[in-house]
Structures are given as structure tokens and as C-alpha cells.
Amino acid sequence: MLLGFLLFYVGAVLFLNGLWLMGKIEDREIVVINVVSGLVAGAVVVKGAFGADASPDSVRAAALTLMFSTTYFWVAHNRLVAVDGRGLGWFSLFVAITTVPVFLRALAMAGGAFEIWLALNWLIWGVLWFMYFLLLAQGRPILRQTAWVTLISGIVTGWLPGFLLLDGIT
């Protein structure tokens, strides 16, 4: 259930960040969903890494989740202090590289269609965070494409699986 909760807010933040990248939401207003999503992910990290039932698997998941929580807080920070985002771009490269072995491991361990879908999410997130690297650290002119991939990723990798998990459909 906690995974559904987390993914639901990942869907919200990616969807809205996609709209923000399209110019549909102001810089200062996008801070709210990034902070909320960062807090949700941060709470999952604390429970997974330091909770009474912490295990090697939950600590591993917490470490990976913290990459995304950090990203959301960093986006919020950048909007409040109006910096260019190059640091976040380089951090995004770290995230993108990290998703490769996570995707391969998740795919190898997948026992059914839903687990394959979740594994593919890691691949999609890797591509998306690599796009953030190209956009922010390298200054590539891919804002429009990044906005659309962010928005669609929010639906496919966050909102939809999160909603299904919360609703008990999977």
C-alpha cells in the first residue's frame, strides 16, 4: 500500500512538472507539489531505512527513493532561489545512471506483468532523468520534448500504477 501511496504522488509531481515545463504553471506555484511529493517520498525513505521493520531490501528501496525525493526538493529550491539548475542536471545524470542496474535487476526478478511494468518504470525514469541532465546541465534545446515525457511519465509510471495499487486492483 505504501508503494501505491508513493507512486500516486510521483504521478502528481511529474504530471504537474510537465505542465510547468510547458509554461502552464508559474515557477513559484510548482514549489508546492514538489515539496509535498518530496515529503511523501522522504517519509517512505525514513520508514524503509530506519523503521522497526527495516530490512536490507527496504533500505535499498529507501536509498533509491531518496534520489527522487531529493530531486523534488531540488526543483522546489531552484524555483525559490531562481538558479539555472545545472547542479540538478548533474544530479539527474547520477539518477539516470543508477536506474540502469535497477531496471535490469527488477526485470530479471519480475514474476508477472505488473512487476514487468514496474521494472519498465525504472527504464522510463532513467530516460527522463537523462533528459533533465541534457536540458539542465548540457543546455540542450529539448524543453518541449522533456515537458511531454515528464507529463506522460507521470501518468504511466506514477499515477496509474499508484492508483491501481491504492485501489487494490493489483
What is the percent of the chain where pLDDT is above 90?
A: 98
pLDDT in tens, 101-110: 999 999 999 9
State the Cα–Cα distance between residues 74 and 18, nearest whole angstrom. 16
Answer whether residue 170 shows pLDDT above 90.
Answer: no
The reply to whether the predicted model has a pTM over 0.85 is yes
